[in-house]
Structure 1
């Protein structure tokens, strides 16, 4: 259903560093960047190498960049190890723990995930939901 999604961030360089590391753990890479220090509408996009962006961060004024209450974004992970690496990289690069890697049987018998909050307050998840 979704083609792509964008999030507003207050510091594009800080956010790009965070997402470069956390999304790399899941196999996603920076597929484009429009970085012009000091200018508006800067952006960085992520997806699979050689393809378009599926996730984008965009520089916004502090007053207009806020994480929505109840907003949650889950990224697909290729395996449980990637769920662990996503969580580790997030914490190493300015994210906050919101639930360590592990099974979440209340979401289903094969649901394995970790949860973090990015430096701008966006709630993120890495998940694999298939039999091992």
Structure 2
């Protein structure tokens, strides 16, 4: 249904560094870059290697308000990738918002981890395999 989603970041270079690290374990990479230090309207895009972006991070001048219930969930190929996403996100400046583990209330085999990026966006990595 969705082609891509965009999130705002006041510090675009910090955001790019965070998403480079956090999305790598899930198999997503930076697929385009428009970074011009000191200039406005910078952005980066992430998606599967060789494909278009599914997530764009765009520079904004002021923090966006927190939206209750909003988060972005990324598909993970397996539980080890969920674990690695969580660890990489924390190492890159993210905040723990739910350690990796099964979430039986969300569905059978639902394995997920939750973090907040340095801008406060809530992120999830999830797989539904029976590993």
TM-score class normalised by the smaller sequence: over 0.9
Which residue matches 2:93? Answer: 94
Partner secondary structure for residue 25 of structure 1: helix
Kindly state the Cα deviation for residue 39 of structure 1 after the two structures are TM-superposed: 1.1
Which residue matches 2:56? Answer: 56
Structure 1 segments of 4 or more deviating over 6 A? none
Q: TM-score, normalised by structure 2?
A: 0.96
Corresponding residue pairs, total? 131
5+ unaligned residues in a row in structure 2: which ranges? none
Q: TM-score, normalised by structure 1?
A: 0.95
Q: CA RMSD in A?
A: 1.0
Kindly state the Cα deviation for residue 128 of structure 1 after the two structures are TM-superposed: 0.2
**1:76 partnered with 2:91:** no
Kindly state the Cα deviation for residue 103 of structure 1 after the two structures are TM-superposed: 0.3
5+ unaligned residues in a row in structure 1: which ranges? none
Contact 2:78 2:129 survives alignment (8 Å):
no
Contact 1:114 1:126 survives alignment (8 Å):
yes
Which residue matches 1:18? Answer: 18
Kindly state the Cα deviation for residue 69 of structure 1 after the two structures are TM-superposed: 2.7
Kindly state the Cα deviation for residue 66 of structure 1 after the two structures are TM-superposed: 3.6
